[in-house]
Structure 1
Amino acid sequence: MKRSGPLFTLLAGLLLALFMLTLNATTGTRATSYGEESSGRDAAPSASPAPAPSLDTPSPRTPSPRPSPPPDATYAGRTADDTAAVSVSVRDGKAVAYFCDGRDQESWLRGDVEDDRSMRLTGKGGAELEGTLRGNRVSGTVDIRDRTWAFTATKAVKPSGLYRATAEVRGAQIDGGWIVLQNGRQVGILKRDGKPAAAPGIDPATGAVTIDGTGLRARPVVP
């Protein structure tokens, strides 16, 4: 009876050890050392790297500068063969021109001045002026009645320029056009009821002109 005490104690210790081994084998857990992460869920999530800027991102486009509008001015000159005069008046991108030989041929032409300073003006009877404004001059050609004249017209300073007068005088319809060149020379045609003739001179300072005893005023032409 005295020996059963130690045996009982030894048997109890063996049973406890066997129970612990069985428990560890069943749960599959293991002790972790100090400082070691116990599971992936306990670790702080790592920050995602910022996406690199795309190399295909287009750079902002710089708007193309708009061409400057043609300056408002009047140009006057002669044809290359010196048989006629041409004047072109430009305002706000519009143009009006007058071709005149001072005897019996004339034409009024109108149109737009393009961004590249070119112009194509048209008039009655298929008349056409094609020109380009460069600096202080307009150069180009005039086509009237199957004839072509090359011309150059330089910037006019008053009183040179382009003038016109229309009125009814003694029952006749008067329509006169004048080109006053830079040297003071005048080239013009006066029509009475559509019949052309050389125009009398005007006072360039005031535009005053006398037609058939009646005083009229020729005014600068603008588009």
Structure 2
Amino acid sequence: MKRPGPLLTLLAGLLLGLFMLILNTTTGTETASSTDRKQPPAASAPPAPTKSGASPKQSPKPSPSPSAVADASYAGRTDDDSSAVSVSVRDGRAIAYFCDGHSKESWLKGDVKDDGTMRLTGTDGAELNGTVKENKRIRGSVDIGGGHYAFTADRARKPSGLYRATATVRGAKIDGGWIVLQNGRQVGVVTRDAKPSAAPVIDPRTGAVTVDGQQLTARPVTP
């Protein structure tokens, strides 16, 4: 009986080769799969440039709203040069004084809108309507005692402006108002127990004034 040695050896070699081929194929597949799983995500593409090559422009910022009227004092005369008007503006409020330097006068007050317009009122139906223009002057009119007076009041620089003094002198109630104009001229009225008359001159640097022999102090007026 012949020994099958060479045939078995050949068959064993073939089986071993087939096993190694299968093993290599499996290992390569697993390695490729692992490599695919470990790949980092692709970076996102940059935004496409505009036709001009520049980045899109941002929308322009809205322009700021007009600022409120500045705090200031104004002084001037009526168009007919018969009287003086002064207005003091603070924090959206205003107080004004109209006087002819003899017997006609009125204190008025009210609000100032952001656009500079104002309507101020006083006793006996007195009314001032005006507008602050560029924080430099007030143009308006005063209606008082049946009269209508257009005026222009420029922004005042100290010591020009509006002053007032109140006191009791020799039993009489004193209320004085003064408008000091840019040229130094003064226009004022003092009432004694509601009886008006021309006011004496004040020292605008200190506000000192003598009324009926008694020294008083006229102070700048603010709302």
**Could you tell me the TM-score, scaled by structure 2's length?**
0.71
How far apart are the structure 1 equivalents of 2:62 and 2:191? Answer: 51
User: What displacement does 1:66 show?
Assistant: 3.7
Task: Give structure 1 regions of 4+ aligned residues with deviation exceeding 4 angstroms.
Answer: none
Question: Helix, strand or coil: the match of 1:125?
Answer: helix
Shift of the alpha carbon at 1:64? 7.2
Name 2:111's counterpart in structure 1. 112
Instruction: Tell me which residue corresponds to 2:209.
Output: 209
Check the 8 A contact 2:69/2:115 in 1, yes or no.
no
Q: CA deviation at 1:68?
A: 1.1
Q: Distance in 1 between matches of 2:212 and 2:147?
A: 33
Q: Distance in 2 between matches of 1:189 and 1:162?
A: 12
CA deviations 1:96-116 (Å, max 9, x no partner) are: 000000000000000011111
The question of whether the paired residues in 1 share the 8 Å contact of 2:76 and 2:84 is answered with: yes
CA-CA distance at 1:67 after TM superposition: 3.0
Q: Name the amino acid aligned to 2:181.
A: L
| Structure 1, unpaired ranges of 5+ | 1-59
Equivalent runs, 1:1-223 vs 2, <5 Å: 65-135=64-134, 136-223=136-223
Superposed CA deviations along residues 148-193 of structure 1, whole A, max 9, x for unmatched, are 0000000110110000000001100000000000000000000000
Aligned-pair CA distance for 1:63:
7.1
Question: Offset at 1:93?
Answer: 0.6
- Give the Cα separation in 2 of the matches to 1:146 and 1:193: 23
Q: Tell me the CA shift for residue 69 of structure 1.
A: 1.4
For 1:211 and 1:163, the matched residues in 2 are separated by: 15
Deviation at 1:213, TM superposition (A): 1.2
Equivalent residue number for residue 26 of structure 1: none
Please say if residues 127 and 142 of structure 2, whose CA atoms lie closer than 8 Å, have aligned partners that are also in contact: yes
TM-score (norm 1): 0.71
- Could you say which structure has the larger radius of gyration? 1
CA offsets, 1:187-206, max 9 Å, x none?
Answer: 00000000000000000100
Give, in angstroms, the shift of residue 65 of structure 1: 3.6
Task: Look up the equivalent residue of 1:163 and give its one-letter code.
Answer: Y
Alignment-mate amino acid for residue 89 of structure 1: S
SS at match of 2:206: coil
Distance 1:85 1:106 in 2: 10
Partner Cα separation in structure 2 for residue 94 and residue 145 of structure 1: 24
Asked whether the 8 Å contact 2:74–2:87 carries over to 1, the reply is yes
1:205 counterpart letter in structure 2: R
